[in-house]
Structure 1
Amino acid sequence: MTFLKSISDVHLDILKEVGNIGAGHAATSLSTLLQKKIDMNVPSVRVVSFDEVMELAGGADNVVASVFLRIEGDAPGSMFFILPLQQAEKYIGQLIKKQSFSFSAEPDNELAFSALQELGNILSGSYLSSLSDFTSLTLYPSVPALSIDMVGAVISYGLLEISQVSDYAIVIDTALDEEDANMPDSVRGHFFLLPDPESFHTIFTSLGVKVDV
């Protein structure tokens, strides 16, 4: 609780700005790839306990598309990107030129997983580049691990080792809007940035603010 109390609005505002720049870069790349205008923004950034992570991703039984990767360099950590399955299928269908694509019908489609990996590379790379630019830290991602599974299984896999050394995640809410989407609301994805314990201090110090841990 001491750590959470030390996170102020200033910290979160800076992380939100980092997230919005990353989202802007990702939107540009996605727009080029999909040949349509994609807008992305970050409505909110929060620091939460691991107990809240699964709930934010839709509950343990909710099936999602996820990309998990390790962050290496000056501030090691881990990152998830979790996207609602229907939206992931839609983007993948556009990328592989098969509008009716679904994982339930084609669970072993290698081209679809390649497209999902490319999507994960674009999104995670954009956020990491933004964070690296802001902090002047050297950060680089591992090869993404892809999964179509229930949130409980996805989160447990990613947190198995991390939960032994850390208790908190930075949640970067991500809203995606398509120019021609027939949806009343934008689709929400979640970035879960999980710095290793010492990396929280490294990141915030590089951003010019201190965290008492």
Structure 2
Amino acid sequence: MNLDINNLNNILLDVLKELGNIGAGNAATALAQMLNNKVDMDVPQVRLLNFSEVDSLIGGAENPVVGIYFCINGDIVGNIMFILDLESSKNLIEILLNKKKPDYDLNEFEISALSEVGNILASSYINCLAKMTNLNLKTSIPSISIDMAGAILSVPAIQFSYVSDKILFIETEFSENNKSITGNLLLIPDIDSFEILLENLGVS
């Protein structure tokens, strides 16, 4: 199968956008239940990119970010990662913990709260993908890191760049009580798993 992103057809892009829309809706519902308040989530921007393009979209390789990382297991293998810049992560802490935005390094409790949000978002998209493809998909427990974007992205790059350089990039923006958060969800299947996804999405 030719996985040149320039040759992928509009059907696939429409399917991926539908995945983004449904996943975002599920994530907004789950976050609203967690916060016991309404959460608005904009229609996500969904793109299929080369791995090398990602760091420029999240502020450059030296931009400090929070990365929440999961392994995907089951019928496909890969990674999923939720990335927030530090400003967005602190805004999210303010929403989650109903406290003034921290101007210091995040503590263990605050990091745990961010990890739980990453878990909710990742699970929402993976569960949606599983329903759309009838595949058995599972995610690992989250691993969280605060570092420069280049270092954060090196984890999946080292593991999967030798078998696939394609990544599904979902830019997600949500708000609660006029506080907005922008995060990026990265779905990184290996090459064989990408073909399985396409086949089960009816785009083979």
**In structure 1, how many angstroms separate the alpha carbons of the residues matched to 2:85 and 2:76?**
29
- Counterpart in 1 of 2:192? 198
In the alignment, structure 1 segments of 5+ residues that lack a partner are none
- Counterpart in 2 of 1:110? 108
Identity score, percent: 42
**In structure 2, how many angstroms separate the alpha carbons of the residues matched to 1:159 and 1:41?**
29
Kept in 1: contact 2:92–2:181 (CA 8 A): no
Kept in 2: contact 1:81–1:189 (CA 8 A): yes
Kept in 1: contact 2:88–2:183 (CA 8 A): no
- Counterpart in 2 of 1:98? 99
Kept in 1: contact 2:78–2:188 (CA 8 A): yes
TM-score normalised according to structure 2 size: 0.91
Kept in 2: contact 1:67–1:81 (CA 8 A): yes
- Counterpart in 2 of 1:4? 5
- CA change 1:87–1:36 in 2 (3 A) is farther
TM-score normalised according to structure 1 size: 0.88
- Counterpart in 1 of 2:86? 85
- Counterpart in 1 of 2:141? 143
Partner AA of 1:17 in structure 2: E
- Listed as ranges, the matches of 1:136-175 within 5 Å are 136-175=134-173
Determine helix, strand or coil for the equivalent of 1:161: helix
Kept in 2: contact 1:42–1:173 (CA 8 A): no
- CA change 1:44–1:100 in 2 (3 A) is closer
Determine helix, strand or coil for the equivalent of 1:160: helix
- Counterpart in 1 of 2:51? 50
- Counterpart in 2 of 1:60? 61
1:32-75 deviation per Cα after TM superposition (whole angstroms, max 9, x unaligned): 22233212234422111111011112111111111111100111
**In structure 2, how many angstroms separate the alpha carbons of the residues matched to 1:67 and 1:138?**
22
In the alignment, structure 2 segments of 5+ residues that lack a partner are none
How many positions carry a matched residue from both structures? 203
Is residue 2:183 matched to residue 1:189? yes
**In structure 2, how many angstroms separate the alpha carbons of the residues matched to 1:110 and 1:144?**
14
Deviation at 1:2, TM superposition (A): 5.6
